[in-house]
Amino acid sequence: MSERVLFRGARIVDPVAGRDEVADVSVVDGRIDQVGPGIEAAEAEVLDCAGLVLTPGLVDLHTHLREPGFEYKETIASGTRAAAAGGFTAVSSMANTDPVTDHAGIVAEIRDKAAEAGAADVFPVGAITKGLAGESMAELGEMVEAGVRVFSDDGNCVPTARMLRNALVYAKAFPAEVVIADHCEDASLVEGGHMHEGVQSSSMGLAGRPAEAEEIVVARDLAIARATGGRIHICHVSSARSVELLRRAKRDGVRVTAEVTPHHLVFTDDDLVGYDTNFKVHPPLRTAEDREALRGAVADGTIDVIATDHAPHAVEEKESEFDLSPPGTIGLETALAAVLTHLVAPGIVELPRAIEAMSAMPARILGATGHGGSIDAGAPANLTAFDPSETWVVQAPFVSKARNSAFLGRELTGRVRHTMLRGALTVADGKVRG
């Protein structure tokens, strides 16, 4: 017997097809069957979607799932369940695992575990350098054959211009578009630093990570991409001047994409005054001026993608002294609501553009086939339905194993109700299944 699900009366926002209208969507055997008004409900599980927004399933370009190696922080199972809870049908998995995701064996292991868990598809990101050591290139070809499309030493900046140049050039060998993604912070300027360098870091007595540490690496990477024709992606942009560099490079035709996190779009270094370690992130939260530039860059497409940089840590690691705490905030379960509350509701970013930045764009970069596409008959049924008007307060526990959220205690408007992965509901009525 075939599995049928009917989304009844949702506002369909499909940035790829340019559709924004109220309609029904029926799903049969994992694929979208019909889209339109008044679809027959025969033998279908009917989800009343009046007042809800239905979009392509969200895709996260920047997720730390921590497995293998750091299962006490998060596992593939718990991380993908958190993803589903946040409306994601696909996530990446950053390479800073232990062992490092720098060869095909680990890629396969992560994929297998994700398939077994079944809450979201996982597209592993491979390391650019062996062991993330920045010294010798990992075997990119083997990982490309295993399906990897994005390479990053995230957490570390690619340390030398030569290494980055060679990776960008070497990646041209492959028929698929392979993306070299960089965490842009000059190590010599951020060594020992814990927050944005400015008035706030000075009064808090914390060594800073200056904005120029990011900007000089963004400029370096763009110069090399321009010269080589390589395909570069700038991770978690945090500074207004980086945005300017990107804007100019894009105008000049450099093959570059960029992402920003919800926390950089919402918070500033003023939020650190209480030494709350959940606001300790790399790159750091900067000034209101930087935040405004980042918001504008999402609106005009200079920044292509909103990605979470979901970085789970154990409670005891984050309940430590500020300088000793590891950097990172979780983000999968709050990303959509944060974007709706702080970018869409105030009219800074149109809803279709926000959804595009969280589904179609990251899916394209990640090579996540079947995700982030148009809501059309025949397409894989990867869908997210959310209530744009439900207001809630972010509280622990989370679906994630971790609770280090910068959004703890914050009121957000917009909540995921249903998430569907290839026709199966991973979240139904706000509850994660399985």
Partner 1 sequence: MNRHVLSMHDLTADDVIRVLDTAESFREVGTRVIKKVPALRGRTVVNFFLENSTRTRISFELAAKRLSADVINFAAGGSSVAKGESLKDTALTLQAMGADAIVIRHSSSGSPLQLTKWVEGHVINAGDGTHEHPTQALLDLYTMRERLGRLEGLRVAIVGDVLHSRVARSLCIGLVTMGAEVTLIGPPTLIPPDAPTWGVQVSYDLDAVIPKLDVCYMLRVQRERQRLEYFPSVREYNRLFGLTGARAGVLPEGSLIMHPGPMNRGVEIDSDVADLPQAVIEEQVTNGIAVRMSLLYLLLGGAADRVDDADV
Chain contacts with partner 1 (rule: CB under 8 A):
198-199, 202-207, 274-275, 316, 319-324
Q: Is 276 considered catalytic here?
A: no
- Smallest distance, partner 1 to C-beta of residue 157, A: 20
- Smallest distance, partner 1 to C-beta of residue 206, A: 5
- Residue with smaller CB distance to partner 1, 145 or 319: 319
- Smallest distance, partner 1 to C-beta of residue 284, A: 15
- Smallest distance, partner 1 to C-beta of residue 204, A: 6
CA dist 219 and 405 (Å) reads 31
Q: Is 134 exposed, middle or buried (0-12, 13-18, 19+ CB in 10 A)?
A: middle
- Smallest distance, partner 1 to C-beta of residue 405, A: 17
Amino acid present at 39? I
- Residue with smaller CB distance to partner 1, 91 or 206: 206
Identify which of 312, 310, 328, 339 has the alpha carbon closest to the alpha carbon of residue 412. Answer: 339
- Smallest distance, partner 1 to C-beta of residue 199, A: 5
- Residue with smaller CB distance to partner 1, 116 or 316: 316
- Residue with smaller CB distance to partner 1, 206 or 266: 206
Q: Which of 309, 323, 387, 429 is catalytic?
A: 309
- Residue with smaller CB distance to partner 1, 174 or 275: 275
- Residue with smaller CB distance to partner 1, 9 or 328: 328
- Smallest distance, partner 1 to C-beta of residue 207, A: 7
- Residue with smaller CB distance to partner 1, 129 or 200: 200
CA dist 359 and 352 (Å) reads 10
Catalytic residues: 309
